[in-house]
């Protein structure tokens, strides 16, 4: 659903323009509301309302008797906020989420299939630099040595 890397800037009022390709997906799927929360690796996760409900259901099924589950859920859900796009395709990113992701002005919005991620431009550059050379090794570990061709056909 969401794919690609898009560079944008947050304006002085904390608004961020969602890439036009993503807004087209919203229109095609009648998406109006989104949920933004603390993501992993110091980025923000952005989910459509339907995808958010799926995520919430998964986390509800985890045992709350586990301290790790409680701690994760506290940080994940307490950081969440509901947003809608204005007429210019912008969302308002709360200050506490910008602080968490160390976002000042320039961002990279990354499409990761079922979600978008918002990264500070510097954090994305560092992540990409540190990870790109291990892309093939990561794939090998994830897919048990399966060749790229067999991953594509599955």
Write down all domains in the chain, each with its CATH number in brackets. Answer: 2-120 (3.40.1550.20)
Q: How many CB atoms lie within 10 A of CB 114?
A: 14
Beta bridge partners of 82: 35
| In the predicted structure, residue 153 carries a pLDDT above the cut 50 | no
The rounded mean pLDDT for the chain is 91
pLDDT band, residue 30 (cuts 50/70/90):
confident
pLDDT at 66: 93
Residue pair 111/2 in contact by the 8 Å Cβ criterion: yes
| In the predicted structure, residue 132 carries a pLDDT above the cut 90 | no
Beta bridge partners of 85: none
Mean pLDDT for the stretch of residues 122-148: 85
Mean pLDDT for the stretch of residues 3-9: 96
Mean pLDDT for the stretch of residues 59-82: 94
CA 107 vs. chain centroid, Å, equals: 12
Mean pLDDT for the stretch of residues 28-51: 93
pLDDT band, residue 10 (cuts 50/70/90):
very high
Q: How many CB atoms lie within 10 A of CB 33?
A: 14
pLDDT at 24: 86
Q: What is the pTM of this model?
A: 0.87
The count of C-alpha atoms lying within 13 angstroms of the C-alpha of 111, restricted to the half-sphere facing its C-beta, is 14
């Amino acid at each position: 659903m969401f794919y690609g890397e898009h560079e944008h800037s947050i304006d002085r009022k904390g608004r961020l323009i969602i890439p036009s390709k993503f807004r087209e997906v919203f229109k095609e799927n009648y998406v109006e509301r989104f949920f933004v929360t603390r993501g992993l690796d110091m980025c923000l996760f952005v989910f459509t309302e339907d995808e958010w409900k799926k995520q919430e259901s998964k986390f509800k099924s985890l045992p709350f008797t586990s301290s790790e589950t409680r701690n994760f859920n506290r940080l994940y859900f307490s950081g969440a906020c509901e947003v809608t796009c204005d007429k210019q395709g912008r969302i308002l990113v709360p200050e506490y989420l910008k602080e968490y992701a160390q976002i000042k002005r320039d961002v990279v919005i990354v499409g990761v299939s079922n979600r978008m991620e918002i990264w500070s431009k510097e954090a994305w550059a560092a992540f990409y630099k540190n990870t790109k050379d291990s892309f093939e090794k990561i794939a090998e570990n994830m897919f048990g040595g399966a060749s790229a061709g067999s991953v594509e056909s599955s």
